[in-house]
Amino acid sequence: MALIITDECINCDVCEPECPNGAITQGDEIYVIDPDLCTECVGHYETSQCVDVCPVDCIPKDPSHEETEDQLMAKYKKLMGETA
């Protein structure tokens, strides 16, 4: 499932450069994650890089975008231009 940034975000700017898919951008008030681009770093890393660097733990899984590991890998391959 994609991740989401909650309103506990302090706009510290550390998560955005860590996202290998460019899924994190500055929103109107806090950073936001595009669920169409978020693979939870599947295909790139063993752990979600934004979660690892977040100093306030405000990046949980987004329950409105549930995805399996296989679905995340398929999304990664599509984003990377690989055939599934």
Q: What is the pLDDT of residues 27-84, one digit of tens each?
A: 999 999 999 999 999 999 999 999 999 999 999 999 999 999 999 999 999 999 986 5
Q: Which three-class secondary structure state does DSSP give residue 33?
A: strand
Q: Which residue has the tokens 């405000």?
A: 58
CA diameter of the chain: 38
| Six-digit token string for 79 | 């984003």
State both tokens at 84. 């599934």
Write down all domains in the chain, each with its CATH number in brackets.
16-79 (3.30.70.20)
pTM over 0.75: yes
The pLDDT assigned to 82 comes to 86
H or E segment to which residue 24 belongs: strand 24-26
